[in-house]
């Protein structure tokens, strides 16, 4: 009984601690399409850098469900499966306003588990299935044909380390509302298994937040440029430069609960194609919440939907834990 009483007391103390010592972070989401997640497209990141000696560790899991079946006279693309991505991110603040981090992903492609739920969701709300309900559930097949020849044919469940990313952040001004970051993505993942691109990518971007928002609502955003090396995947169609950006709104619903809506977008990653999944700009809507039981921990739950159809996964479910120390 004493142990239960002590545990209850600690929980009560944790609950009473102020929960918003730092601005809430944006949802650290990116496009998890199997043909895009191989590149070094970064999430927006915090609008501030960590103080010298301060560290943050993030642990996130994302399940992205794909279904695309489109063709033209010369091309056909079929994506049916799920990408699961588990990422460990470690950041630390240093003197001079520098922040250095490393992001280590573990990526898997398979049939997944969300097909039946998504089909039921579409039926319940009267949404179109686009042929999803006529295909076997929880299967894996990624196939892209050009002029009758397979450029991609992937039908075997696989998992392994993805491409590791190194990140450096600096404050843009003396105030804490804007930060600039540079990342370098290394080719540590197997490109033949769509765990990486087989090339080194670099990105430069900024993130900012409302400096004068003192009420329950606060906006944030940012944008940047991604430079990509020559990928092993669709090399002849790959673009070298992509622009990206995010814009979001946070609402402090409760003292420890923040709800948010965020729009992510980027320009096309591929050219010489009439298919939206390859040659159109992408737009994703993110809805979610961040719960802080204390100053040191934050739980995150978010769902992403492709509002520019076929340019990103149908649905992405994301859950994460962030800790400061």
pLDDT of residue 4: 36
Nearest to 140 by CA among 121, 159, 127: 159
Q: CB-hemisphere CA count at 13 Å for 145?
A: 12
The lowest-confidence range among 11-20, 85-94, 179-188, 252-261 is 11-20
* Residue 74 in this model has a pLDDT that exceeds 60: yes
Q: 3-state SS of 17-64?
A: CCCCCCCCCCCCCCCCCCCCCCCCCCCCCCCCCCCCCCEEEEEEEEEE
- 48/179 Cα distance (integer angstroms): 5
* Residue 5 in this model has a pLDDT that exceeds 50: no
pLDDT of residue 277: 96
Q: Extract the tokens encoding 279.
A: 């040659």
Nearest to 187 by CA among 216, 165, 218, 154: 165
pLDDT of residue 86: 98
* Residue 287 in this model has a pLDDT that exceeds 50: yes
- The pLDDT confidence band at residue 120, using thresholds 50, 70 and 90, is low
* Residue 154 in this model has a pLDDT that exceeds 70: yes
- 312/304 Cα distance (integer angstroms): 9
CB 234 within 8 A of CB 1: no
End-to-end distance of the chain based on CA atoms, in angstroms?
Answer: 31
The DSSP secondary-structure symbol of 10 reads: H
10 vs 286 pLDDT, higher one: 286
- 274/310 Cα distance (integer angstroms): 12
Q: Extract the tokens encoding 253.
A: 């619903």
Q: What is the pTM of this model?
A: 0.88
* Residue 2 in this model has a pLDDT that exceeds 50: no
CB 87 within 8 A of CB 103: yes
Average pLDDT for the chain: 89
172 vs 55 pLDDT, higher one: 55
CB proximity list for 291: less than 8 A, separation 6 or greater: 256, 257, 258, 298, 299, 300
CB 275 within 8 A of CB 72: yes
Is the alpha carbon torsion for 50, 201, 196, 84 positive or negative?
positive
Total H helices, total E strands in the chain = 3, 15
| DSSP per residue, 81-107 | EEEEEEEEEEEEEEGGGEEEEEEEEEE
- 201/105 Cα distance (integer angstroms): 15
- 83/68 Cα distance (integer angstroms): 14
CB 268 within 8 A of CB 242: yes
Nearest to 94 by CA among 49, 135, 134, 126: 49
- 55/315 Cα distance (integer angstroms): 31
- The pLDDT confidence band at residue 173, using thresholds 50, 70 and 90, is confident
- 313/325 Cα distance (integer angstroms): 34
- 122/126 Cα distance (integer angstroms): 6
* Residue 98 in this model has a pLDDT that exceeds 80: yes
Q: Which backbone phi and psi does 123 adopt, to 5 degrees? A: -65, -45
């Amino acid at each position: 009984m004493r142990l239960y009483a002590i545990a209850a007391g600690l929980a009560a103390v944790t609950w009473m601690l102020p929960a918003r010592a730092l601005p809430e972070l944006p949802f650290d989401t990116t496009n998890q399409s199997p043909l895009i997640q191989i590149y070094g497209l970064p999430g927006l990141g915090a609008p501030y850098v960590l103080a010298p000696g301060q560290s943050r560790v993030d642990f996130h899991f994302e399940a992205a469900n794909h279904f695309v079946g489109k063709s033209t006279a010369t091309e056909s693309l079929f994506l049916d499966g799920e990408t699961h991505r588990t990422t460990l991110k470690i950041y630390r603040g240093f003197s001079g306003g520098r922040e250095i981090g490393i992001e280590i992903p573990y990526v898997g492609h398979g049939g997944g588990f969300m097909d039946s739920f998504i089909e039921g969701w579409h039926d319940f709300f009267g949404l179109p299935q686009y042929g999803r309900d006529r295909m076997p559930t929880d299967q894996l097949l990624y196939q892209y044909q050009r002029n009758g020849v397979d450029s991609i044919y992937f039908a075997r469940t696989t998992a392994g380390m993805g491409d590791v990313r190194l990140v450096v952040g600096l404050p843009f001004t003396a105030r804490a509302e804007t930060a600039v970051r540079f990342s370098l993505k290394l080719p540590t993942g197997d490109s033949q298994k769509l765990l990486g691109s087989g090339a080194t990518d670099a990105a430069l971007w900024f993130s900012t937040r409302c400096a004068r928002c003192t009420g329950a609502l606060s906006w944030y955003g940012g944008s940047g440029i991604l430079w990509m090396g020559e990928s092993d995947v669709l090399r002849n169609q790959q673009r070298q430069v992509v622009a990206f950006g995010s814009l979001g709104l946070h609402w402090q619903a409760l003292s420890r609960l923040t709800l948010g809506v965020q729009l992510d977008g980027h320009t096309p990653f591929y050219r010489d194609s009439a298919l939206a999944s390859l040659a159109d700009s992408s737009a994703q809507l993110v809805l979610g919440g961040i719960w802080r039981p204390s100053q040191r921990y934050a739980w995150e739950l978010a769902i992403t939907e492709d509002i520019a159809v076929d340019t990103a996964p149908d649905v992405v479910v994301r859950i994460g834990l962030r800790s400061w120390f």
